[in-house]
């Protein structure tokens, strides 16, 4: 396998970055994220989903093998063509951008292998940046370190390890994570529950492995706001 090509420049965004792929994309949600200040980037054919929502991407990143009429984009937006085939278009978009918080739409659904590849990319890049995957039902935020949030009392709160990680403690969860080690293929924290609304999850000090906080999709805007505030 050849060494991955590194793009000549990194595109930096202030605030929220929304990377759009060619999977299942809710156009209403995409428009709402744009109105809330999100910068839109198409991961190859995801640019066509942005157009279908009546919007224009600020950049298109990928190998352009699934982008309709790639030549038609010349002069309309920034194009970053990366021909290497060792990574997906989503990963190309991740290693070619910087942003305090990144929401990824269209990286799940339609094809199961694309969903698995998206999770793999989040596992690699979740140590260095905050990435939030969105599907039809849930939001999954890749986090490192402690996090406090508030949902409705009794609402589902799932925790999924992207690498082995031990938690020091939790507060406000039906099934405490105190001293619990989670690891892929061994133990996960699916279908926990917020007992009082507000909850805190704290990994062991020094734990750098990213973990997924999975909540109902209705929490997306408050979650993004909280993540942006923390990143600031």
Please identify which residue in the block is written with the tokens 């508030």.
150
Fold match, 12-136 / 143-222+226-230: yes
Distance, CA of 195 to CA of 113 (rounded, Å): 35
Check if the beta carbon of residue 26 is closer than 8 Å to that of residue 105: yes
> In the chain, where are the structural domains located?
12-136, 143-222+226-230
Per-residue pLDDT of the chain (232 residues; tens, 9 = 90+): 344 555 567 999 999 999 999 888 999 999 999 999 999 999 998 999 999 999 999 999 998 887 777 777 777 899 998 888 788 999 999 999 999 999 999 998 677 888 888 899 999 998 899 999 999 999 999 999 899 999 999 999 999 999 999 999 999 999 999 999 999 989 999 999 999 999 999 999 877 789 999 999 999 999 999 999 988 7
- 35 CB contacts (<8 Å, ≥6 apart)? none
Q: Give the pLDDT score at 117.
A: 87
Ramachandran angles phi, psi of 176, nearest 5°: -60, 150
Q: Give the pLDDT score at 3.
A: 45
Query: What is the number of alpha carbons within 13 Å of residue 198 lying toward its C-beta?
Result: 1
The burial class, CB within 10 Å (0-12 / 13-18 / 19+), for 155 is middle
Ramachandran angles phi, psi of 41, nearest 5°: -130, 130
Supply the pTM of this predicted model.
0.91
Q: What is the CATH number of domain 12-136?
A: 3.40.50.10240
Give the CA radius of gyration of the chain. Answer: 18
Which is the CATH superfamily of the domain at 143-222+226-230? Thiamin pyrophosphokinase, catalytic domain (3.40.50.10240)
Q: Give the pLDDT score at 1.
A: 34
Q: Give the pLDDT score at 167.
A: 96
């Amino acid at each position: 396998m050849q060494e991955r090509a590194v793009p000549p420049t990194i595109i930096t965004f202030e605030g929220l970055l929304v990377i759009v792929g060619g999977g299942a994309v809710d156009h209403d949600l995409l428009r709402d994220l744009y109105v809330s200040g999100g910068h839109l980037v198409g991961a190859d054919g995801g640019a066509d989903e942005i157009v279908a929502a009546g919007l224009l991407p600020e950049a298109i990143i990928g190998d352009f093998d699934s982008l309709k009429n790639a030549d038609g984009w010349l002069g309309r937006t920034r194009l970053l063509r990366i021909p290497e085939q060792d990574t997906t278009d989503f990963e190309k978009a991740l290693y070619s951008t910087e942003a305090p918080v990144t929401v990824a739409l269209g990286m799940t659904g339609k094809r199961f292998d694309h969903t698995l590849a998206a999770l793999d990319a989040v596992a690699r890049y979740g140590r260095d940046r905050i990435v939030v995957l969105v599907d039809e039902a849930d939001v999954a935020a890749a986090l490192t370190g402690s996090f406090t949030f508030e949902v409705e009392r009794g609402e589902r709160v799932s925790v999924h390890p992207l690498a082995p990680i031990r938690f020091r403690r939790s507060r406000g969860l039906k099934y405490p994570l105190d001293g619990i080690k989670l690891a892929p293929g061994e133990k996960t924290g699916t279908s926990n529950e917020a007992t009082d609304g507000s909850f805190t999850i704290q990994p062991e000090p020094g734990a750098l492995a990213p973990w997924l906080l999975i909540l109902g999709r209705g929490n997306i805007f408050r979650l993004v706001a909280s993540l942006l505030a923390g990143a600031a």
